[in-house]
Amino acid sequence: MKNIERNKEYEPEILEKLHNLQLEMLQDLQRICEKYDIQYFAVFGTALGAVRHKGFIPWDDDIDVGMLRKDYDIFIQAAEKEMGDKYQIMTPEIDKNYACCVTKFQRKGTKFISYLSDKLECDQCIFIDIFPFDCIAPEKKQARKQQLITLFLDRLIYLCGSAHPIIPYTGIKYHMAAGICWCAHYITKITHLSPRFIYGLFVKQCTKYNMIGTDVVTSFGDGSSLKYCSTVNKIFPLKKVEFENMTIDVMNNVDEHLKRTYGDYMKLPPIEQRVNHAPCVIDFGDVYK
């Protein structure tokens, strides 16, 4: 098993270039959202950075935005129409070799390949992560089942592309989990189980209760999905906050979102817990030429 770095320190000039390009990308994403009346909001590390640092978390290397599913669907169609010469959307539906449930808004002509995804045979560019928010099942038992199924499918998609996920154990537990992951990976290869097929099942589970309109939403695919859920009427109306050289939208209840996700979020984590995406290849293409 390879040792995957998740707190690799960037050269300062490389991280600055990356942040500057991602800000440009976020401005372009905003323009699409404004034109099509789409409401996006910063989530997770980007929301944390906006509140705690008024910009990027100093060691962070991506941008995370959320949208309700109805806005997400419009954005996916609009992005290609408006900026298909500059950007591409990446999901397993678009590229069957993309073994990840997170939708990426990618800058064409660049490369960003992390140690987590170096085996994937698909375009991997500098990106913004987009998380659709879907309704949670109305009953606790159903909601727990929905979370477990989406979590399982999310992990299975990743194992289609790699036999070496991050395993948060040591000793015998680590070796047992690593063996199971290795077996699962090669079973998907032998049975020709594709990320695209699994992703279809994943989206079906995520959207299963959207027509019911339970008003409680989250982004599925994470073991903490139910922990950082929120009612729609607490998310909206969105609030504007400072983020580097621009203004972005966050949830109205951003403090609640961050506390649920990170706990005491204003306290800086120890250095060993300052996680990033650890690229093994980064290329800005013609952006800075």
- So what's the pLDDT on residue 103? 97
CATH pick for 12-135+217-283 out of 1.10.3470, 1.20.1440, 3.30.460, 1.10.3210 = 3.30.460
pLDDT grade for 44, boundaries at 50, 70 and 90: very high
Q: Is the pLDDT of residue 249 over 90?
A: yes
Q: Is the pLDDT of residue 147 over 70?
A: yes
Taking the model in full, what pTM does it have? Answer: 0.92
String of DSSP letters for the chain: -----SSPPPPHHHHHHHHHHHHHHHHHHHHHHHHTT--EEE-HHHHHHHHHTSS--TT----EEEEEHHHHHHHHHHHHHHHTTTEEEE-TTT-TT---SSEEEEETT-EEEETTSTT--S---SEEEEEEEEEPPSSHHHHHHHHHHHHHHHHHHHHHH-S-------HHHHHHHHHHHHHHHHHHHHTT--HHHHHHHHHHHHTTTTTTT-SEEE--SSTTTTTT-EEHHHH-S-EEEEETTEEEEE-TTHHHHHHHHHSSTTSPPPGGG-----EEEEE-TTTT-
Residue spans per domain, the chain = 12-135+217-283
